[in-house]
Amino acid sequence: MFQTVVSFLRTEIRGMSTFRKIRWIIYLLIIIQGIYLTIVRFTKGLGATTNLSDEFPWGFWIAFDVVSGVALAAGGFTLCFLVYLIGYHKFHSVVRATVLTAFLGYALVAVGLLYDLGKYYNVWHPVIMWNHHSVMFEVAWCVMLYLTVLFLEFLPVVLEKFKFHRLLKFMQRATIPLVIAGILLSTLHQSSLGSVFLIVPEKLHPIWYTPMLPLMFYLSAIVVGPAMVIVESTFSAKAFHRSLEKPVLVELAGFLLIALIIYIGVKLQDFYIRDAFKEFFTGSFESIHGLLEMTFFIVPVILLGLKKLRQNPRWIFFSAFLVVVGVVYNRFNVCWIGMLRQSNANYYPSYSEIAISLFLVTIGTMAFYFIARFFPIFPEHEHEETTNHEHQTVPLKMVETT
């Protein structure tokens, strides 16, 4: 075992270009630093590593690792809905990569949460100590269950690799119920992450505080789903030297556009009903962030609205990237920027907070990279006809099984 790993690493390193080598060295440094800071965090406590205070108890880790992390992993349920439930098989070639991304994303959220929890070893307490008045309690349960669902959704890939055919058959039969459970759980906790902030009407700035917060979080999660799939498949195409499947991208861009228009429509409606438009033009710190956030959604609509750009992978990637940034920006605004004024705190993340988040993201990316190398994540033949009937009736089975 050890020998194979070493020889694998050796050939791996030999085959790299200098540029790649430098990149891997940077990753390595991030990881070493991350491990060091992790030790500091768990031996010295939150005060030694974060800029959090009694006035501002939730910071970068909650805003980025947890709240943004959950949103960015939303591709899993939207794509599963399209592919398995309404039989939209054009996206079949990206569904495994997306489920893997979602699984790793949620796993990272869970790990990130451990860093943030003061008594991390009590993280399992919601299992036995119930408080059904708590949104957080509900989110905790949903995330726990959904992580299990995602694991089961991904399991067939592992079974396929190790040729456990009988179990594989069984798992494939469970696909539809699993997908339905996944969609319901996602719907609940994606929106509930918005509900988390319903209890602070006196703290969150009116640009973001609305009774519709759960709906906003849910819709933006649906928006960021296809955007993340686009971004992630563009990156992995680069990393694995595969050519991008243009028709899939164009199709995804179409979905992204529709979702965006709905999201922006609902958002404007909400501003109108609450009479919150005026908040944008006060020139305050919040209004600038609010306007900037909206730009990240409106520009992609314009770009994707132009038919010519919607056919171009580069522009599609660019728009999707803007949307991803926009959604993260939105979560930051709700968790952080919009909270500053009333808390009388001057919070900004410490170096360690950012370094640890970076460390987690790096680990996640590496995990994706290695899993994708060893397991059949991407279809062998990219241009295989996806109208093949065989895999329509046997979900979670790729066009070509290895």
What type of residue is 100?
A: L
What type of residue is 102?
A: A
78 within 8 A of 226, measured Cβ to Cβ: yes
Token pair, residue 252, equals 């995804």
53 within 8 A of 347, measured Cβ to Cβ: yes
Minimum Å gap between C-beta 298 and other proteins is: 28
Minimum Å gap between C-beta 189 and other proteins is: 11
CB closer to other proteins out of 168 and 178: 178
For 153, 264, 363, the CA distances from 333, given in Å and listed in that order, are: 33, 17, 26
Using DSSP's 3-state secondary structure scheme, residue 88 falls into: coil
CB closer to other proteins out of 253 and 340: 340
CB closer to other proteins out of 24 and 137: 137
Phi then psi for 204, rounded to 5 degrees? -85, 135
CB closer to other proteins out of 107 and 212: 212
Minimum Å gap between C-beta 306 and other proteins is: 32
Can you give the binding site for other proteins, defined by CB under 8 A? 42-48, 52-55, 57-58, 81, 84-87, 116-120, 122-123, 125-126, 129-140, 176, 179-180, 183-184, 187-188, 191-192, 195-196, 198-203, 211, 214, 343, 389, 392-393
CB closer to other proteins out of 192 and 357: 192
Task: Tell me the DSSP string of 208-222.
Answer: T--TTHHHHHHHHHH
d(CA 126, CA 124): 6
Minimum Å gap between C-beta 228 and other proteins is: 22
Minimum Å gap between C-beta 119 and other proteins is: 4
Using DSSP's 3-state secondary structure scheme, residue 211 falls into: coil
CB closer to other proteins out of 53 and 282: 53
376 within 8 A of 401, measured Cβ to Cβ: yes
Minimum Å gap between C-beta 56 and other proteins is: 9
